[in-house]
Amino acid sequence: MKPLRAILGTASASDKIIALSEGDDPRVVEGAVKAVKENVARIILIGDRAEVSALLSAHEGYDPDWIDIHDPATSDLTPGLAQALYERRKHKGLTLDEARQQITNRLTYAAMLVQQDIADGTVGGAVETTSDTVRAALQIIGTGPETAMVSSFFLMLFCQDHHDVKGARIFADCGLVVDPNAQEMAEIARASADSYTTLTGDTARVAMLSFSTSGSAEHPKVSKVVEATQIARAKDPTLLIDGELQFDAAFVPEVAATKATESPLKGEANVFVFPSLNAGNLGYKIAQRIGGVEAIGPVLQGLAKPANDLSRGCSSEDILHMIAVTAVQAQHNDAGT
């Protein structure tokens, strides 16, 4: 788990504040305590103060100064956040009374903490649906200043003994964009390459995946991948990218030597961009469930500030890892501003 330890180490040096919108969930509280014990981040737990306090009381050995509880129903910040939400969304027809009602929603409250720079990032989705979690992030935090779209990825950790090649890979988009066109696929590739370098410190090697390799098949779905590769390369000539490639030609050097002899990736890609959510979601789950690959995500990319989604079946360890990823994203955002 060297890549994961590196991410945890980077997060611990960032001193970021991460808001957890579901602070009344035992897994979330346990993940928060683990994050504090490892100095990964300072934590805001959002929820009913009595319920959250009761859950925290079951844990010992952490610095309580690193965990704060915010109850939207009673917080001194709530009126100001409601006013800021109204100012941000009034052009969409939101009234001040509606903003006062909405700010008591935990996802909305967490997103506003980030939007107002009270927290550096937020993590939710252990209980709430992906659609609600992402909607709050999009409407309140919004996209980055130079971002065309928001997409997602899974950080895939190949760390088992049976993995011939170990280390971190990115699979995108496996959680958000259903059927990207060529322009959108190119944006996912560029964002994923940046995310890979942010999280690992290594150079991204991007494979644009298809059921065809270097013209072995002709189909409009293949043409989309070829066009997307060309668009991404034109927008960033320094990006190491190739496509269209089948997965084996992108992942196995021996296969690349016979099927993709001209590919600059040489079967050593570390970022894999799938042509659809259908393919990406199936691909990461097959790798996770059959291949034993650790999957962290879905991680959102393209937002102005970090906000990430959890699986509703997540464990406290999953939450710890997502807190760390969110803290590293926040650190990267600060470095870019």
Cα–Cα distance, 202 to 70 (Å, whole number) = 37
Kindly indicate the confidence band of residue 185, based on its pLDDT and cuts at 50, 70 and 90.
Answer: very high
**Judging by beta carbons within 10 Å of its beta carbon (0-12, 13-18, 19+), is residue 150 exposed, middle or buried?**
buried
Provide the Cα torsion 11, 6, 147, 233; round to 10°.
160
pLDDT score recorded for residue 240: 98
Kindly indicate the confidence band of residue 235, based on its pLDDT and cuts at 50, 70 and 90.
Answer: very high
pLDDT higher than 60, residue 337? no
The mean per-residue pLDDT over the stretch 310-330 comes to: 94
The mean per-residue pLDDT over the stretch 5-34 comes to: 94
pLDDT in tens, 269-316: 999 999 999 999 999 999 999 999 999 988 999 999 999 999 888 999
pTM of the entire predicted model: 0.91
Closest CA to 277 of 298, 306, 292, 293: 298
pLDDT higher than 70, residue 336? no
pLDDT higher than 60, residue 225? yes
Structure tokens at 102: 């909405």
pLDDT score recorded for residue 161: 87
Sign of CA dihedral 104, 151, 29, 331: negative
Helices 220-235, 182-200: inter-axial angle, 10-degree rounding? 50
pLDDT score recorded for residue 1: 63
Structure tokens at 326: 């969110």
**Alpha-carbon distances of 40 from 31, 34, 104, 308, rounded to whole Å:** 11, 8, 28, 16
pLDDT score recorded for residue 128: 94
pLDDT higher than 70, residue 41? yes
Tell which wins on pLDDT, 306 or 160.
306
